[in-house]
Chain A
Amino acid sequence: MPSSTSSFSPGRKRARHRRLFAVFAASFGVLAVVSAAVWARTPDALKRQRMPVLEAPPADKGERYLSSFRGVSVGHYLHFSGIDSEMIRHLREADVLIIGNSRVQFGFPQSVMKPFFARHGLKYYALGFPYSETITFPWRLLQKYDLHPRWVVVNEDIIFFNQPSDYAAEVMRSHPFNAWQNHFETDATYAAIRALHRVLPHLKVLRANVADPVPFRSREDGTVLFIGTPAKPVLIRNFPQHHHSVYDEEVRTAAAFKAEVERRGGQLVFTYVPKVNPLRPHAVELAARLNVPLVSPVLEGLESFDTSHLTAGSAVRFATAFVQEFEKVLATAGPRPK
């Protein structure tokens, strides 16, 4: 242990301890007060555009939950563990499942999807997951909860690989208790960060293009509402820059998935949510090889905020065009099974 201070009298010791604490507190306090003052004088635009966490609502237990934050995807855990029975009930009742990676989360906003499916008397659920998720994870959910959707829409941007993302692999090995742990950790971190940065800034605000949109996911339909996407969009151009070959493994995996969907009484449909470096030709080729309808409207002037995900405005445009085309698929369907 550190050297004893027994040579001091108790009174002198106490005074020394008080001085030490005062130095510590003064050092912290001066820096905190100065930066809080600077932060308070910062223009609102800087605050709001670069720290979405300040604008986002608290992570409460309402209809939406904080689905991922600081590298933890609570959505993965909650869907797999089944600890949120209300959410799983909605998943089970869905007539239409929309499966994919994070581009599905950004590409199908509730404001467009909900009124469309309500008009047709159908329930839908968006099963989009971050971390470049492949088909394996949602496929496992399909089996685990014995889902029987009438349509399964898959965003086909190289998703048919029979291996989950590293993150999903970890989730699929986890216990429901781990889901609860991650939910608690994420919400607690979020609350602490929101409280802290109302007083003190984060160094990130001094750098450009650093916004981390905060995703809130609906328990009812799985759509994600992102708070605070950055301002500088990139235009998505509609010409193929990359044409990835369709691998045999993809065809095999996609065919097996199609067979499973049909066994469950559903129809497989492909879509393609645009991004910079488009992979649409890949989706077109795979859809043709499997004889699966492709609902993939081609629109001019769509924008992405990070080259990979649609901006909120472009997502509304894309989803509106998607549901118009999807209506044709619905029209060809037979009567609703009992």
Chain B
Amino acid sequence: MSFISWSFVVLFALVFAARLAFSRRNTGAPYLLILLAASVVFYGWHVPWYLLLLVFSSAVDYFAALWIDRSPAGSARRKWLIAACVSANLGLLAVFKYWNFGLSTLESLLEMAGVPAKLPHSNLILPMGLSFYTFVAMGYAVDVYRGKIPPERSFWKLFLFISFFPHLMAGPVIRAKDFLHQLYRKRRVCAPVFYEGMWLIIQGAFLKLVCANNLANTVDRLWNAQTIAQAGSADLAAMALMYSGQIFCDFAGYSNMARGMAYLLGFRFPVNFNNPYIAASFSNFWQRWHITLSTWLRDYFYISLGGNRISPRRTYINLIVVMVLGGLWHGAAATYVVWGAIHGAALAGERLLGLGQTGEQSRGRAAKLAWLVVVQVVVLVAWVFFRSPGLHEAVNFLKRILHWEGSFLPSPALLQMMVFLVPPAIMHLRGALVERGLVPPMGRFEQAALAGALLFLTMIGYGINNAFIYFQF
């Protein structure tokens, strides 16, 4: 079920009515059961049998965590259990997400070796949200293994943590230590929480329905081999810029709506986006873009590989490996691998050259500004790979920009659609000014006025394309 659907509006209205009905009463268990039932309906809405995978993933992590807890610290049994648990989760991803990609790669290699072969490809459909909930579930088991949290004794509470509908399909990637304790506290509806939740939902809906959907209309229509071969360089550069805006508005919009709904239901989710296009370094970009995934990759992959504790050379390799895996997490395609490799290489290069420090005394203002431009251009180039259907198309796209042809301005039709980049640009600019203390953070009354305006603009300016980009991952 998508947030942008009438079925979801009905479901959420029912759950929120339950929240209001149970307000201020010690009725934790019934309310949590309603949330669980809503999550099951939400996930099973399109393909009910996907629920079995969700239950399987949760059950594996539930039992693994209990058995790990019973095993002595440092014992071989404990290590075997966590290895089995991680393998089961990654196995799900391998079967549903990477099987065909692996076979196609193998076929290409065999063909290059002069032994062409047709391997049996799978017809399985990728279950929605699989990449997200396997990471959420795996993170829980690893945290128990590392002794950071005790195991959850109640299966259905763990299942609710993994399947809680606001984060189930496209994150944020929630940590058990941030969420499970919220199941046990008394909750009451209070006005500030309601305002904050509504503000996030309205802001998210505006970013998604108005900015992302309208940008998607143009980008989806034009991003094809025929148009790319004929369009001028300025048009292609504009399309890349529009896609970078689209993916931000789409995903940040979704994350804001998810956080807002969680607030209204009495839960707190972490911030997932913090004006990423003002990042002055690659490391800073990953502290602002899909924050819950980048911190997850850092804590569970990068640190497990040794992080920066072994040697400088190993640190660079670890950065590249983690980012390539991060790319592969997005999808089973060479374009995502290249996207991850670009970011990994950029992070390693930045570290090697010592350009990552963002402190006041680190570099001169001009040097920092120049590096910010480099960072954002590289991010934009990486988005071209992320969006393109294949490596060949992405390289062609970039080649055509580099060998500049045509006018210096995009066509009027594109310029007209670029108006939907203005709201995220203002949002980033304001964020930068707030961070530098030049303007104060938005107060409640300003938020209320802006929320009214955004709601109005959403009602008159929504675009057609309702699918969330990150649902496919």
Question: Interface segment, B91-99, B130-138, B310-318, B443-451?
Answer: B443-451
Count A-B pairs with CB separation below 8 Å. 82
Contacts of B464 in A (CB 8 A): 70-71
B187-202 interface bits toward A, Cβ cutoff 8 Å, 1 = contact, 0 = none:
0001111011000000
Sample of 18 more A-B contacts, CB < 8 Å, known A1-B263, A27-B456: A2-B192, A2-B193, A2-B195, A4-B192, A5-B191, A5-B192, A13-B191, A23-B445, A26-B452, A27-B451, A27-B453, A28-B452, A35-B460, A181-B45, A192-B6, A200-B460, A202-B460, A207-B416
**Given A3-B192, A200-B459, A178-B451 contact (CB < 8 Å):** no
Interface size on B, as a range, is 20 to 34
Q: Chain A residues near B459 (CB, 8 Å)?
A: 196, 200
Query: Contact between B192 and A1 (Cβ–Cβ < 8 Å)?
Result: yes
Confirm or deny: B330 has a beta carbon within 8 angstroms of a beta carbon on chain A: no
Q: Of the candidates B46, B193, B461, which one forms a contact with A1 in the assembled complex, judged by CB atoms under 8 Å apart? A: B193
Question: Which one of A4, A27, A70 contacts B448 once the chains associate, using CB atoms below 8 Å?
Answer: A27
Decide if A27 touches B452 in the complex (CB within 8 Å).
Answer: yes
* Contact residues, B409-466 vs A (CB, 8 A): 416, 444-445, 448-453, 455-457, 459-462, 464-466
State whether the Cβ of A173 lies closer than 8 Å to any Cβ in chain B.
yes
Residues of chain B within 8 A of A3, CB atoms compared: 192
Among listed A81-89, A182-190, A300-308, A329-337, interface-contacting one = A182-190
Chain B residues closer than 8 Å to A25, beta-carbon distance = 452
The listed residue (A27, A70, A192, A201) touching B460 by CB distance below 8 A is A201
**Closest Cβ neighbor of A188 among chain B residues:** B6
Q: Which A residues lie within 8 Å of B46 (CB)?
A: 178, 181
Neighbour of B7 across the interface among A23, A27, A70, A184, CB < 8 A? A184
Residue A23 contacts which of B6, B449, B460 (CB distance < 8 angstroms)? Answer: B449
Q: Check if A203 sits within 8 Å of B6, measured CB to CB.
A: no
Q: In the complex where A2-B193, A28-B452 touch, is A185 in contact with B7 (Cβ < 8 A)?
A: yes
Asked whether B154 is an interface residue with its Cβ less than 8 Å from the other chain, the reply is no
Q: How long is the Cα–Cα vector from A5 to B459 in the complex, in angstroms?
A: 32
- Of B5, B191, B466, which contacts A17 at CB under 8 A? B191
Q: Which 3 A-B pairs have the closest CB atoms?
A: A27-B452, A28-B452, A188-B6
- CB-CB < 8 A to A189: which residues of B? 6
Distance in Å from the Cβ of B421 to the closest Cβ of chain A? 15
> A4–B190 Cα gap in the complex (Å)?
9
- Asked if B268 is at the interface (CB within 8 A of a chain A CB), the reply is yes
Asked whether, in the complex, the Cβ of B191 is within 8 Å of the Cβ of A71, the reply is no
CB contacts (< 8 Å) of A28 on chain B: these are 452-453, 455-456
A285 to chain B, nearest CB (A): 23
A66-93 near B? 1/0 per residue, CB < 8 Å: 0000110000000000000000000000
CB < 8 Å neighbour of A20 from B125, B195, B268:
B195
User: Which residue of B193, B268, B448, B453 contacts A21 across the interface (Cβ within 8 Å)?
Assistant: B448
- Tell me, rounded to whole Å, the shortest Cβ–Cβ distance linking B152 to chain A: 22
Specify which chain B residues have a CB less than 8 angstroms from the CB of A178 in the assembled complex.
46
**Chain A, 117-149, contact with B by CB distance < 8 Å: what is the 0/1 string?**
000000000000000000000000000000000
Contact of A203 among B45, B455, B461 (CB under 8 A): B461
> Residues of A contacting B195 with CB < 8 Å?
2, 20
Tell me the nearest residue of chain A to B192, going by C-beta. A2
Residues of A within 8 A of B (CB): 1-5, 13, 17, 19-21, 23-29, 31-32, 35, 70-71, 173, 175, 178, 181, 184-185, 188-189, 192, 196, 200-203, 207
Closest B residue to A29 using CB positions: B452
Name the residue on A nearest B465 (C-beta): A71
A130 CA to B334 CA, complexed, in Å = 31
Residues of B with C-beta under 8 A to A70: 464, 466
22 contacts between A and B (CB under 8 A): A1-B196, A1-B263, A3-B192, A13-B191, A20-B445, A23-B448, A23-B449, A23-B452, A24-B451, A24-B452, A25-B452, A26-B452, A27-B450, A27-B453, A28-B453, A175-B47, A181-B7, A184-B6, A200-B459, A200-B460, A202-B460, A202-B461
Contacts of B460 in A (CB 8 A): 35, 200-203
A71 to B6, CA, bound (A): 15
Beta-carbon nearest neighbor of A28 in chain B:
B452
Chain B residues within an 8 Å CB radius of A71:
464-466
Q: How far is the CA of A13 from the CA of B263 in the complex (A)?
A: 20
Q: Closest CB of chain B to A22's CB: distance in Å?
A: 8
CA distance A30 to B142 in the complex (A): 53
Q: Which residues of A contact B445 (CB under 8 A)?
A: 19-20, 23
User: In whole angstroms, how far apart are the Cα atoms of A25 and B445 in the complex?
Assistant: 12
C-alpha spacing A4/B192, complex, angstroms: 7
- Bound form: Cα–Cα A154–B192 in Å: 62
Report the separation of the CA atoms of residues A201 and B455 in the bound assembly, to the nearest whole angstrom: 14
Please report the C-alpha to C-alpha distance between residue A19 and residue B195 in the assembled complex, in whole angstroms: 13
Contact, CB under 8 Å: A20 / B193: no
Nearest Cβ in chain B — how far from A39, in angstroms?
9
Q: Which residues of B contact A4 (CB under 8 A)?
A: 190, 192
Nearest CB of A to B50, in Å? 12
Task: Collect the chain A residues with CB atoms within 8 Å of residue B466's CB.
Answer: 70-71
- Known contacts A31-B456, A71-B464; decide if A24 and B416 are in contact (CB<8 Å): no
Shortest C-beta distance, A187 to chain B (Å), equals: 9
Q: Is the CB of B45 within 8 A of A20?
A: no
Chain B stretch 4-50: residues in CB contact (< 8 A) with chain A:
5-7, 45-47
A201: chain B residues within 8 A (beta carbon): 460
A188 → B minimal CB distance (Å): 4
Given known contacts A24-B448, A27-B450, A32 and B192 CB-to-CB distance under 8 angstroms? no
Q: Which residue from chain B places its CB closest to the CB of A187 in the assembled complex? A: B6
Complex interface: chain B residues within 8 A of A31 (CB): 452-453, 456-457
* A2 engages B196 (CB within 8 Å): yes
Q: Which residues of B contact A181 (CB under 8 A)?
A: 7, 45-46
By beta carbon, the residue of chain B nearest A202 is B460
Report the nearest A residue to B125, measured CB to CB. A173
Q: Encode contact with A along B135-161: 1 for CB under 8 Å, 0 otherwise.
A: 000000000000000000000000000
A27 engages B449 (CB within 8 Å): yes
Measured in the bound complex, the distance between the Cα atoms of B51 and A308 in whole Å is: 43
Bound CA–CA A52/B460 (angstroms): 16
Q: Is the CB of B453 within 8 A of A185?
A: no
With contacts A1-B193, A20-B195, A201-B460 known, is A185 near B6, CB below 8 A?
yes
